[in-house]
Structure 1
Amino acid sequence: MSIASEPLPGAVAVEEHNDVDHSSVSLAVSTVILALRPKENETHPTLWLPLVRRLREPYKDQWALPGGPLKPTLSLEEAAGFTLKRATNLEPGYLEQLYAFGDVLRAPEARAARLSGAPVPTPAADHERVVSVVYWASIPATEVANTRVHENIRWFPVDELPELAFDHNEIIEYALYRLQNKVEYSRIAHSFLGEEFTLAQLREVYEAILGRTLDPANFRRQIAASKSIIDTGRRVEGTRHRPPRLYRYNDAQAYADAGPLGMYRERHEA
């Protein structure tokens, strides 16, 4: 009995896949760095983020998210932390992988075409495809004043962004969308504050993230029910009226879920 030597369909598919040229695809890491600070002549804080000015083409002189090619010696998380440190000279209050952005043409005109239903422009022959793994990070309010100052780094309110390089406007929109959803079921808002804070300060974080005013009494009840903060027994000093209480985080609760990989590592590396 002889067995036919015809190639299996799967083997042909693998062989064809291996023939694909991947030399023009690059991997990069970018970081959406968010912090709370008030706008000029305003008292309530809003969300801001730092952008860097591009010094070469494409998009020379336009603003973009901090980031760059992934170095072979760094993990993705290390690269995101390095980007944050280089842009702000600060350590994050929280750092999480957001998403991988890998459209063939990552440009404002491509997004505009998708939104309008028009055909997406075809990349030029010399187009270099870049896949970006994006992280988002928070900076505690107590550290924002110590951020790095540089002529090619500027902080912008998230609701007053210019047109950015590549697809970075869309990336920021998605980061804000994820943050607004996450703040509803986790204590991620606490990562924007210092070690001690008042209920009013915590409420301002929620209001800045959600983009709406919250009823103080309802907010107090919801936070008390969550058991996410602990009364320190101290009060703010130097106020004219009755000084508000100071609270701290309940360290028994995580900022947010660590995702499938994070939960696996916590279970197996503890």
Structure 2
Amino acid sequence: MVPDPATYPYARPALTVDCVLFGLDAEDLKVLLIRRKLPPFQDQWALPGGFVRVAETLDQAALRELREETGVEDVFLEQLYTFGEIDRDPRDRVVSVAYYALINLEDHPLEAGTDASQAGWFPLDPVPALAFDHRSIFTLALGRLQGKLRYEPIGFELLPAKFTLTQLQGLYEKVLGQPLDKRNFRKKILKMNVLVPLAEKQQNVRHRAAQLYRFDEARYQQLREKGFSFEL
């Protein structure tokens, strides 16, 4: 039986969701931020997010807040961590469930709304000062992304459908924050047999046009079922 709200003897913390979205733009990895329209931290940059409604799930709340504050929708959000420091929000006792996602910037135009006066993409270095404990949330999300990138082919979600090996290596270097040996990287990725070389090359480039590839997701799933491990 659900207790009568009028006589329920325990204080109930508020529940929010926060979203860390990473995207690739001109081979530069960026994070999506909004400028807050309302107090607290009015006019400061923050992660998209907000309070969970009584009649919605956490996933539904995260997708709704993301859509309302940035115009971004139809993305796969993965739950990251629960942040519950007592003084993390000056308004009340607030617990936040954080999510993160990878998207291609070209597929998701921005449109600020609700309690966000502006939405924009920012390079990871430096990220501006963030409201609440959003710096900690961002840092944890980036670390999770860096770890996951090494054992799952999630980086392909940030690239166009057709890409060069240089673009792929550039993505990994941006996410990991370190240079990679070109020869070793190409040897490892091609040996996995999950890239399909296309009968076409780059167009309208000043340097020598490079071979284009696409990621074969069906092939990857077949290999995975057989115990294949994607690891760079």
Q: Shorter-chain TM-score: what band?
A: 0.7 to 0.9
Structure 1 unaligned segments of length 5 or more: list them. Answer: 1-17, 39-44, 108-122, 258-270
Residues in 2 aligned to 1:27 and 1:71: alpha-carbon distance in whole angstroms = 9
Hey, what does 1:36 align to over in structure 2?
24
Deviations 1:100-123 (A, max 9, x none): 11111116xxxxxxxxxxxxxxx8
Whose radius of gyration is greater, 1 or 2? Answer: 1
Instruction: Supply the distance in 2 between the matched residues of 1:201 and 1:141 (Cα, whole angstroms).
Output: 15
Aligned to 1:120: none
Taking a change above 3 Å as real, the CA distance of residues 185 and 92 of structure 1, as seen in their structure-2 partners, is: farther
Match in the other structure for 2:46:
64
- What is the alpha-carbon distance in structure 1 between the residues aligned to residue 131 and residue 74 of structure 2? 24
- Other structure's SS at 2:87 match: coil
Asked whether the equivalents of residues 92 and 138 of structure 1 are also in contact (C-alpha less than 8 Å), the reply is: no
Query: In 2, Cα distance between the equivalents of 1:49 and 1:241?
Result: 29
SS at match of 1:152: strand
Deviation at 1:173, TM superposition (A): 0.5
| Inter-partner Cα distance in structure 1 for 2:54 and 2:214 | 39
Amino acid paired to 1:138: L
Q: Give the TM-score, by structure 2 length.
A: 0.80
Deviation at residue 229 of structure 1 after TM alignment: 2.2
Per the alignment, do residues 136 and 221 of structure 1 end up closer, same or farther by CA in structure 2, a change over 3 Å counting?
same
Matched residue count = 212
Root-mean-square deviation over aligned CA pairs: 2.6
Q: What's the offset of the Cα at 1:154? A: 2.9
| 1:219 CA drift (Å) | 1.1
TM-score normalised by length of structure 1: 0.69
Q: Does the 8 A contact of 1:53 with 1:152 survive in 2?
A: yes
CA shift for structure 1 position 56: 2.5
The unaligned stretches of length 5 or more in structure 2 are 1-6, 225-232
Deviation, 1:246, is: 1.8
Maintained 8 Å contact 1:97/1:135:
yes
Alignment of 1:145-184 (within 5 A): 146-148=109-111, 151-184=117-150
Which residue is equivalent to 1:128? 92
Q: Quick check: 2:77–2:101 contact (8 Å CA) kept in 1?
A: yes
